[in-house]
């Protein structure tokens, strides 16, 4: 089984760069999308459906903002949108799909880079999401949580870490949250297979950052109860529909 997570930074813009053709060439079993920036009526999901995918969308109430999708070949047994807290759920940040043998989540954790108020919102979301996953694992111990976490976990996950100690996305309290999150029994699937530096999934559009590989690894597949089924994980850094690139996990 192949699962892809991809922050497309606007599905309509990504479509104009050939996203759907790329998706079909990759042929994943599941693809989790973040930052759709569109209402369901603003883009056409019929090509995905015609290709045999079941499509779940959770758009933000605010137009042109946030939003996630979960697209799967297998039809979910149950679908849940949001985590049950209105101030977070109106931003369209979580989809959960329960399948026969596992549960899949697509998540778009808020960015705190727009100022103190949004950083506070981010930290509140992180704590609420932690509690949501902690409870969920008791009922669904086989879990894949895929998405844009907007946090670099360790110095290896960011370019020139000494320059970013006070930057949202690499703050000590954010990194400590990821420590606690993984300590719930979750695995950072990419680092099972790749311990190399300079492996990034997002690059600023400024200062030719992607060309210079001045990136951040903020997109993850966190897995639970699946360590013995992990086959491979990779970052598709050459795929360019967005300022992020897709990240992949493959399971037996």
Tell me the catalytic residues: 148
Q: Order the strands of the 94-98 sheet from edge to edge.
A: 78-81, 94-98, 103-108, 143-148, 219-224, 187-188
Helix (H) / strand (E) element for 49: namely helix 46-50
Distance separating alpha carbons of residues 88 and 132, to the nearest angstrom = 12
Structure token digits, residue 125: 């979301």
CB of 233 within 8 A of CB of 250?
yes
Give Cα 86 to chain centroid, integer Å. 20
The answer to whether the Cα torsion of 97, 153, 109, 56 is positive or negative is: negative
Q: Order the strands of the 247-251 sheet from edge to edge.
A: 54-58, 68-72, 30-34, 2-7, 247-251, 230-235
Distance separating alpha carbons of residues 237 and 173, to the nearest angstrom = 28
Structure token digits, residue 15: 């479509």
């Amino acid at each position: 089984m192949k699962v892809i997570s991809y922050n497309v930074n606007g599905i309509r813009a990504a479509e104009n760069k050939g996203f759907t053709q790329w998706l079909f060439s990759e042929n994943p079993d599941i693809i989790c999308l973040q930052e759709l920036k569109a209402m369901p009526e603003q883009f056409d999901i019929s090509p995905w459906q015609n290709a045999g995918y079941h499509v779940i969308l959770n758009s933000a109430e605010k137009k042109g903002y946030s939003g996630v999708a979960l697209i799967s070949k297998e039809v979910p047994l149950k679908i849940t949108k949001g985590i049950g807290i209105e101030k977070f759920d109106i931003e369209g940040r979580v989809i959960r799909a329960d399948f026969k043998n596992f549960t899949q989540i697509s998540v778009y954790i808020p960015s705190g880079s727009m100022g103190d108020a949004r950083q506070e919102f981010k930290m509140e979301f992180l704590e609420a999401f932690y509690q949501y996953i902690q409870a969920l694992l008791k009922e669904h111990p086989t879990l894949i949580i895929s998405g844009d976490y907007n946090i670099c976990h360790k110095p290896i996950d960011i370019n020139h870490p000494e320059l970013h100690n006070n930057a949202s996305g690499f703050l000590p309290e954010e990194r400590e949250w990821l420590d606690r999150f993984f300590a719930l029994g979750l695995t950072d699937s990419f680092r099972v297979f790749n311990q190399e530096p300079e492996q990034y999934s997002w690059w600023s559009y400024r200062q030719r950052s992607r060309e210079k590989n001045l990136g951040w690894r903020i997109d993850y597949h966190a897995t639970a109860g699946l360590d013995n089924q992990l086959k491979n994980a990779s970052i598709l850094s050459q795929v360019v529909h967005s300022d992020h690139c897709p990240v992949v996990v493959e399971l037996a």
